[in-house]
Amino acid sequence: MSTNKLKPEQIKAFKEKEVGVFKADEDGFIDIRNIEWFADEVFATGDKEWGLAILKKIEVLAENFYDLEGIMERLKKLNENDRLLALIKKAEPMIETEDYGVSGCYLLAGNFVVSIDKDYARELYKKSEDHAVDFNEFNELSGSLANDSDDKENALKIVQLRCIPLIDEKDHHNRLSQSAQVVRTLIDLGEIQEDNEGTNFNHSIQILADYRKKIICK
Q: What are the sequence ranges of the domains in the chain?
A: 132-218
Q: Which of 22-36, 58-72, 101-115, 200-214 has the lowest mean pLDDT?
A: 200-214
DSSP 135-191: HHHHHHHHHHHHHTS--HHHHHHHIIIIIGGGS-SS-HHHHHHHHHHHHHHHHHTTS
Neighbour-count burial for 72-98, b at 16+ CB within 10 Å, e otherwise: bebbbeeebeebbbebbeebbebbeeb
Instruction: Tell me the average pLDDT across 126-151.
Output: 94
SS3 60: helix
d(CA 122, CA 82): 18
pLDDT surpassing 60 at residue 6 = yes
pLDDT surpassing 90 at residue 5 = no
Instruction: Give 99's pLDDT tier (boundaries 50, 70, 90).
Output: confident
Q: Which of 34-38, 98-102, 117-121, 170-174 has the lowest mean pLDDT?
A: 98-102
Calculate the alpha carbon distances from 189 to 72, 74, 78, 123, 155 in Å. 29, 30, 31, 22, 8
DSSP for residue 56: H
Instruction: Give 3's pLDDT tier (boundaries 50, 70, 90).
Output: low
> % helix / strand / coil in the chain, to the nearest 5?
70, 0, 30
Instruction: Tell me the average pLDDT across 93-120.
Output: 95
H-helix or E-strand spanning residue 16: helix 8-21
Contact 158, 129 (CB under 8 A): yes
Q: How does pLDDT run across 18-72, given as a tens digit for each residue?
A: 999 999 999 999 999 999 999 999 999 999 999 999 999 999 999 999 999 999 9
Instruction: Give 218's pLDDT tier (boundaries 50, 70, 90).
Output: low
Ramachandran class of 53: left when φ > 0, alpha when ψ lies in -120 to 50, beta otherwise: alpha
**What percent of the chain shows pLDDT beyond 90?**
83
Contact 140, 148 (CB under 8 A): no
Please state the φ and ψ torsions of residue 26, each to the nearest 5 degrees.
-65, -20
| Average confidence score pLDDT of the chain | 93
Closest Cα partner for 55 from 28, 85, 24, 87? 87
d(CA 190, CA 152): 9
Q: How does pLDDT run across 148-181, given as a tens digit for each residue?
A: 888 999 999 999 999 999 999 999 999 999 999 9
